[in-house]
Structure 1
């Protein structure tokens, strides 16, 4: 339960902050709270329920893509697979014999068909066990770091039990909840500075995605920003605030007035009593 509170609770706090300060004027009118998250994160599990023999990476360790994060003792499954394949070979031999007997009229069509179907059944059983054995090694889907381990070596967790939570290295994403009225000037591609509370570092964020719907109750919308350059020490889960006055000011700045074209000279009015034509 504590794991599920993390990012959701921080975004909820951001929503409450925006709802409380969204209508205030002054300098705080363009300040929003946000949470940094990794571009990729996953909670890994396995389809097998066997004893764990290796978990070489612990909390905070970095790993490359494709590394074996969890390895199980699958000797029992391997033995089951060998037995299933032996049974498939025996049924294949029996199907061949039944086919020869059928050609000589020494057996019936039903017996020959049943022998073929039993061969296919044993083959399917072998494929099922082989597919399960793919879970004997949990490999990293991307390069990153270990956030938390929920199992230990020598344990035999149930199938599909959570084993490890990981996040990717590299660029981060910034999740923010902002007043929906900001959509009049905050667009995809808008950039701004975000100050991280924990380290005091300031990073450049660029709006990448805007939620497809506005929360009608709080009149807020979630936006996701890219943070391509991450300083050392800035980690997923850190929070901070963004000042978007420069974005709002740059967008709301009035366009320079167009130059008024010079008016044509007004023709002189002839004095009264003079004739417009010469004699």
Structure 2
């Protein structure tokens, strides 16, 4: 009786495993099939759009691109604009097509394509009346590359991330203001530069705090001094002074500590 029960238990266990395995395989195959159908449908739609694009005149293509942009369908707008750009590079809408492409790539958060088209426009049209807008868009695209939407939404502090894109954006806005001080985009660029300064200063503070953590006091003091010199009107100045006071104290630099303490007391005491 015991042997019979053991055999039955083993038989049920084996069949359960086979059933679970079969269900898993079925689910996997079904998922792949659904994904294939979805991709095929999407690809077919794109192919059909491309065929329609090839039949249209440049005027019709541009009108369709503008309509797509107004409706927020930037992917479709880009297909029309790219077709115009490649098929009619010397057409009546050539520069406006390039400007629209820059904006559409920005809206799709396609940083690489956006920057590539911006740099091409500047290279080919350095004296164009709207080149100030293109410099402005370069700053916006680089700011976009630096942004972490979900970190902002969840209020997660990520000032320790690589600030290269923020630095590039700052230089873009700086170049815009230098080359086109009367541009209608200059005022907004200046406001964005303030935000970028705070971002860059915050990064330097994070680096300085890391040096404190590993007791690299001299490096911490240098970083904090960099904030004082490069970003004197940012929200990070107070923390920079605190780091300098602590670091100079650890290094035995009494005079430097007293100087930093005096500045701190005068502004925050």
TM-score normalized by the length of structure 2? 0.23
More strand by share: 1
More helix by share: 2
Higher relative contact order (CA 8 A, sep 6+): 1
The structure having more radius of gyration, on CA atoms, is 1
